[in-house]
Amino acid sequence: MASTYHKILIITAPSGAGKTSITHYLMNAFPQLAFSVSAATRQPRGSEVNGKDYYFLSPDEFKQKIKDKEFAEWEMVYEGKYYGTLKSELERIWANGQVPVLDIDVKGAIHVQQQYPINTLSIFIEPPSVDELKNRLLGRGTETDESLAARVNKAAYEISFKEHFDEVIVNDDLTQACNSARQLVNDFLARPEAEGQATD
Ligand code: 5GP
């Protein structure tokens, strides 16, 4: 039976490439967008709030939700740290008549695209260089030497997946990158939702 698929906007990038700034910019520019709050097992940082930045779960709670098939996708993004998009979060946003924005890692983004291939726009934010990325992460001041090295290595690997996404924006100038993203999202939101064959 043909059914209408709801839209999903995915913003993905190596950590520190500026995807959070671009995501915030888009959220302000388009009231139709709603941030998809992920579940995560890491500790809250600074002023982060449960239910707003993440749903902070214990590893046991997270694993139970995996068993119960509550995730649209989940990944162990860093050693021992799980992150995932809850199906209930997507449903909640669609029920409000809004489009969820997923700020997620590259593997998670590929999985969401595979599961929701229709009416999904994926944008990969590419850092101008791995050195520049390292400087940005250092400037953020939230990393230990070990976590910085892990993020930089992972970034180099993730950049190799950029061709899997619909669009790539190189973030060497944040204002320009925001404008490019705005144009793409504007066109995406204006498109009618395509119909497709239900797979389940
Ligand atoms: P952070 O710990 O810095 O908040 O996030 C680490 C990484 O996890 C970022 O690249 C972020 O985009 C990614 N992330 C956040 N939520 C999710 C999610 O639900 N699924 C996946 N696969 N990655 C996520």
Q: pLDDT tens for residues 110-147? A: 999 999 999 999 999 999 888 888 888 888 888 888 88
CATH number attached to the domain at 7-192: 3.40.50.300
If one compares 153 and 8, the residue with the highest pLDDT of the two is 8
Query: Could you tell which of 43, 70, 105 is best to mutate to test the pocket of ligand 1, judged by most ligand atoms within 8 Å of the CB?
Result: 105
pLDDT band for position 199 (cuts 50, 70, 90): very low
* DSSP 8-state code for residue 103: E
- As a whole-number percent, the residues of the chain with pLDDT over 70 amount to 96
Domain residue extents for the chain: 7-192
Residue 95 CA to ligand 1 centre (angstroms): 24
Single-letter amino acid, residue 103: D
Question: With a 6 A CB cut-off, is 41 part of the ligand 1 pocket?
Answer: no
Phi, psi of 18 (to 5 degrees): 100, 15
For residue 19, the ligand 1 atom closest to its alpha carbon is: 12
User: What HEC string does 124-183 produce?
Assistant: EEECCCHHHHHHHHHHHCCCCHHHHHHHHHHHHHHHCCHHHCCEEEECCCHHHHHHHHHH
Q: Chain-wide mean pLDDT for the chain?
A: 91
120-126 and 167-170 strand pairing: parallel
Q: How many helices (H) and strands (E) does the chain have?
A: 7, 11
Whose Cα sits closest to atom 17 in ligand 1? 104
Question: What percent of the chain has pLDDT above 90?
Answer: 72
- pLDDT for position 48: 95
Residue 2 is predicted with a pLDDT of: 46
Q: Is 38 in the pocket of ligand 1 (CB under 6 A)?
A: yes
Mutate to test the pocket of ligand 1, among 38, 62, 66 (most ligand atoms within 8 A of CB): 38
- Cβ(15) – ligand 1 distance below 6 Å: yes
The predicted-structure confidence for 85-94, as pLDDT tens digits, reads as follows 999 999 999 9
